[in-house]
Amino acid sequence: MIVLTINGKRRNIDLPADTPLLWVLRDTLELTGTKYGCGISICGACTVLVDGEPARACVTPVSAVLDKSIVTIEAIDQDATGRKVQEAWLNLGVPQCGYCQAGQVMAATALLKRTSSPTDADIDTAMSGNICRCGTYPRIRAAIKQAAGLTEDKP
Ligand code: FES
Ligand code: FES
């Protein structure tokens, strides 16, 4: 039996230790906000926070996160920074199809936790691994700036 801490709760998981975290989230715990995109650490759709840092759940075995705090999109509004990011996303209507957006929000939250006033270069670097097939990058950047308080609250 494996014990993980996900969104502040201890969860008992009866799966092999090399099971990817993404399978546990989506298939076992039905936390389907975290998306499966490429499965090989390229697209960022599966991004979650592990001890506050962005991590690719598709290539992270549960054995690597046993003593860590895992946060998914379902609980990001319980974090003050995550809540600001979600509000900015809503304010600016960032998503198009929405598929990549949970991962984008997680990566943006991690960025703002590290860097409260990011430059364009900081944003580009932090978000470069999160691919959006709809091309919402300009709105993502604007929303990150709004969440950081670098622009007016309303567009
Ligand atoms: S699904 Fe994990 S990086 Fe694409
Ligand atoms: S909003 Fe469609 S993939 Fe990003």
Determine the distance separating the centroid of ligand 1 and the alpha carbon of 114, expressed in angstroms. Answer: 22
Per DSSP, the three-state class of 61 is strand
What pLDDT does residue 151 have?
87
* 35 pLDDT more than 80: yes
Give me the sign of the Cα torsion angle 83, 33, 55, 100: negative
Answer whether 37 contacts ligand 1 (Cβ < 6 A): yes
Determine the distance separating the centroid of ligand 1 and the alpha carbon of 18, expressed in angstroms. Answer: 17
Q: What is the mean pLDDT of residues 40-65?
A: 98
Residue-wise pLDDT tens digits, 76-134: 999 999 999 999 999 999 999 999 999 999 999 999 999 999 999 999 999 999 999 99
Cite the beta strand spans of the chain per DSSP E: 2-6, 9-13, 47-50, 53-56, 69-71
Determine the distance separating the centroid of ligand 1 and the alpha carbon of 100, expressed in angstroms. Answer: 10
What pLDDT does residue 153 have?
63
> Per the confidence metrics, is the pTM higher than 0.85?
yes
What pLDDT does residue 154 have?
57
Site to probe by mutation for ligand 1, drawn from 32, 41, 104 as the one with most ligand atoms within 8 Å of Cβ, is: 41
In the numeric block, the tokens 């860590």 are attached to 68
